[in-house]
Amino acid sequence: MVEPAWLARLIAALAEPGAGLSGLYGAKRLRASGRLVGRTVVHSLLPSPTVRAPWEDVAFVDAVCLCISRRLLDSIGGLDEGYGFYHGIDRDLSLAVADRGRRCLIVHAPFWHHGGKTRTRGFNEDPELERGDRARRDSALARFTEKFRHRLPRDVRGRRERVRDWLRTRLA
């Protein structure tokens, strides 16, 4: 974290009307398959954060950093540990928050992420490790889409923003 106020920003976002979950990385759209739409990703990653200050609404908050009140987390029943360590717990939590009528927000709090690819270490040396990881990911995604079929697809962008994004991709 490069700014001392990063945690205060995550907590302040939770005071926003209807807010339930805040974080530093997420996406505005999830497909019916549960997969995110890359062009809708917003984040605070340096060197080029894409989130507009102070925060933006998203469909889900990535587990790289999450902030939620204990009361809301308890009302959801905690984290669904059936997903395992790497796959799906963040999407599940985000949609559980949405099921409570609450918003998910990505906060502008720039940070460097040095831990990337920790899940995929060793894949080049051991293809079986990668196959097992893909199987766990596919299983978690199937579990998620079944559990949240009523919420998928999910897109928090307004009509104007969706049209603008669509035009950008077509004219690029």
**Which amino acid, one-letter code, is at 108?**
H
CA distance 16 to 22: 10
Output the tens digit of pLDDT for each of the chain's 172 residues: 999 999 999 999 999 999 999 999 999 999 999 999 888 999 999 999 999 999 999 999 999 999 999 999 999 999 999 988 778 999 999 999 999 999 999 999 999 988 665 666 778 888 888 888 889 889 999 999 999 999 999 999 999 988 988 888 888 7
Provide the H-helix boundaries in 15-158.
70-76, 89-99, 127-147
Cis peptide before 153 (omega within 30 of 0): yes
